[in-house]
Amino acid sequence: MLLLDGKKVSDYELSKLEIEINKIKQSGGRVPHLAAVLVGNNPASVAYVNSKIKACARIGLTSSLVSLPETISEIELTQKINELNDDASLDGYIVQLPLPKHINEQFILDKIAPEKDVDGFHPVNIGRMTLSLPCYLPATPMGIIKILEYYKIETEGKHCVVVGRSHIVGTPISILLSRNEYPGNCTVTIAHSKTTDLKSICRQADILIVALGRPEFIDDSYIKEGCVVIDVGINRVEDTSTKGYKIVGDVNFTSVKNKCSAITPVPGGVGPMTIISLLENTLRANLKQIY
């Protein structure tokens, strides 16, 4: 079994980005700048945003954090979005999700200028992705693509089953893997909460991508011998360690490890890859390579 090491791929991608950023600096260009909008102080969102800002510093991008109160209204947040759209000093920005319940997420995402939408969540970027036009790809799907590429996993003609149809993982990765390019050219099935007999569908997969949000749900009875397993889950479960918890995926690693041909571990698989596209998209925005 081949362990698909996301940390290794992420370090490789970061060093490539660092070289491009150094070139900008050496030629006297403006250093790419990413802004992150954080509404409220949901602990997971604070941790994610901090890790994005830290990653910027690591490769020499500048960044700023726009912290807004939990009680901000939809109109006030829209005004802030308009300001960021007009701010020529920043190349791209993200609005960390989830937003508080009183704010309509899609309404806000639709207000982000597509050319600054480095998360790739705007309908224009998702539409362009579907048509294989230049666009910003969303973080987790692009991370998965880079892992498949790095390890030269054969995808053409393979049956890929994606479990989960979220807008940020399941739907975009199913589109990417069905496109006429490498990695892609898969026959894709999307399974979701209304799917009947999930197990028999998963057992047909040559490549199984699981983004379900249920700790260790997929065991060896769900997979075909030799399947490539991509585990997108990041679940906190209680344990007896000093921290009191551990992080597990949606796949039961111990159960499937001797049946699959390759697998992303959790932690250390897809997780470390999810920041790469954000940094790469910010660089592309600065160099005007997409729009």
The SS3 assignment for 174 reads helix
DSSP per position, 223-289: S-TT-EEEE---EEEE-SSSSSEEEE-SB-HHHHTTT-SEE--TTTSSGGGGGHHHHHHHHHHHTTS
- How many CB atoms neighbour CB 219 within 10 A? 15
The residue sitting closest to ligand GUN, measured at its beta carbon, is 97
> Is residue 231 annotated as a catalytic residue, yes or no?
no
State which residue, 95 or 260, has the beta carbon closest to ligand GUN: 95
Among 129, 51, 88, CA closest to 286? 88
171 binds ligand GUN (CB under 6 A): no
186 binds ligand GUN (CB under 6 A): no
Q: How far is the CB of 129 from ligand GUN (least distance, A)?
A: 15
Residues in binding contact with ligand GUN, number by CB under 6 A: 7
Assigned token pair, 243: 């921290």
> Is residue 152 annotated as a catalytic residue, yes or no?
no
Q: Name the strand (E) or helix (H) holding 16.
A: helix 6-26
State which residue, 83 or 156, has the beta carbon closest to ligand GUN: 83
Report the b/e string of 57-88 with b at 16+ CB within 10 A. Answer: eebebbbbebebeeebeeeebbebbeebbeee
HSE-CB for 38 with a 13 A CA cutoff = 19
Region binding ligand GUN by CB under 6 A among candidate stretches 27-35, 95-103, 182-190, 228-236: 95-103
Which of 96, 158, 206, 259 is flagged as catalytic? Answer: 96
Amino acid at 40: G
User: For residues 35-94, which are near ligand GUN according to CB under 6 A?
Assistant: 94
168 binds ligand GUN (CB under 6 A): yes
Which of 91, 119, 206, 250 is flagged as catalytic? Answer: 119
By the 8 A CB rule, do 121 and 278 touch?
Answer: no
Which listed residue (14, 56, 90, 95) binds ligand GUN by CB under 6 A?
95
State which residue, 9 or 94, has the beta carbon closest to ligand GUN: 94
**Alpha carbon 152 to its chain's center:** 20
State which residue, 177 or 232, has the beta carbon closest to ligand GUN: 232
> Is residue 26 annotated as a catalytic residue, yes or no?
no
State which residue, 33 or 158, has the beta carbon closest to ligand GUN: 33
User: For residues 100-159, which are near ligand GUN according to CB under 6 A?
Assistant: 119, 139
Q: How far is the CB of 112 from ligand GUN (least distance, A)?
A: 10
Residues near ligand GUN (CB under 6 A): 94-97, 119, 139, 168
Active site residues: 52, 96, 119
